[in-house]
Amino acid sequence: ITKAMEEYGSTYKAAEVLGVNQSTVARRVARIRAEQ
């Protein structure tokens, strides 16, 4: 997810490429950022 976000810059594009829902990507990104 982090690599997809770095490459595509938006949760929508990252989700499309990864084949998951945008909300899933947004939730995971929020969790990753909270842990840092």
pLDDT digits (tens, 9 = 90+) for 1-36: 999 999 999 999 999 999 999 999 999 999 999 998
Considering its fold, how many domains does the chain have in total? Answer: 1
pLDDT of residue 24: 97
> What is the reported pLDDT for 25?
98
d(CA 14, CA 10): 6
In degrees to the nearest 10, what's the CA dihedral of 7, 12, 17, 21?
140
Q: What is the pLDDT of residue 23?
A: 98
pLDDT for residue 30: 97
How far, in Å, are 6, 23, 28 from residue 33 at the CA level?
13, 15, 9
Q: Could you tell me the two tokens for 7?
A: 């490459």
Question: 3-state SS of 16-36?
Answer: HHHCCCHHHHHHHHHHHHHHC
Domain of 26? 1-35
